[in-house]
Structure 1
């Protein structure tokens, strides 16, 4: 299974690829606000995944030392999602709200796909 840092590196690569596609979609199609919304949501979603990665590292270190950890940053990640939605609501001419929310979920879809691919590769190596 992949460790969290390796998954985050894959997430960043996927984000840059997606942002490039969103820029192309924004410039070349009449659906500019949808592509900008997806890009905005994916950016904030990757930020949320970075927060989760950092907090999981802290959680693991504290667990090894026998200390308690207050939280995994759920409130901060929730606030980031609210901020992305607030930007989309404030600037509806530029950002489509529903596509922003879909963009927020993209890093988790990439995480699921990466885990599935890793599982399939590991099961094929065992045969």
Structure 2
């Protein structure tokens, strides 16, 4: 499996863990409105992460095969999904906390950054443990 595929699996796994935590939060806390907002925003964020990963893979494949790529990375689609989540939260204010929805929408970016930091530290430690043959 390629490094990219491993990264995609790690990031999706962490997003599913977050979604599970938010579902538990809805079921077992008195802050259901906040957790519903986090759940809505993180679901949209998970969709946006999946779309970005799918488009990035297709973009890379097109560049590798043809030398150039047509189309983009789905920025408009991801933005439209985020706007839709905010509109749903505004329409159903008694169910969804708007700030929690916005925080949920950006969770994929936190996961991306955290995954990058963890992988950087992991690879740095592996490089330090490799003995030099000098």
The unaligned stretches of length 5 or more in structure 2 are: 129-134
How many angstroms apart in 2 are the aligned matches of 1:117 and 1:20? Answer: 22
Unpaired segments of 5 or more residues in structure 1?
none
Partner residue in 2 for 1:49:
49
Does the 8 Å CA contact 2:45/2:108 hold for their aligned counterparts?
yes
Where 2:106 maps in the other structure, the secondary structure is: helix
Instruction: Indicate the residue corresponding to 1:29 in structure 2.
Output: 29
Shift of residue 67, structure 1, vs aligned partner = 3.6
* Alpha-carbon contact 1:38-1:103 (below 8 Å) kept: yes
Query: What RMSD over aligned residues (CA atoms) do the two structures have, in Å?
Result: 1.6
Kindly indicate whether residue 96 of structure 2 is the aligned counterpart of residue 95 of structure 1. yes
More RCO (CA 8 Å, sep 6+): 1
SS at match of 1:78: helix
1:45–1:104 CA contact under 8 A, matched in 2: yes
User: Cα offset for 1:69?
Assistant: 1.7
Per-residue CA deviations over 1:45-93 (Å, capped at 9, x if unaligned) read 0111111111111111211212432211100000010011111111111
> Which structure has the larger Rg?
2
Runs of 4+ in 1 over 4 A off after TM superposition: none
TM-score of the aligned structures, taking structure 2 as reference length: 0.86
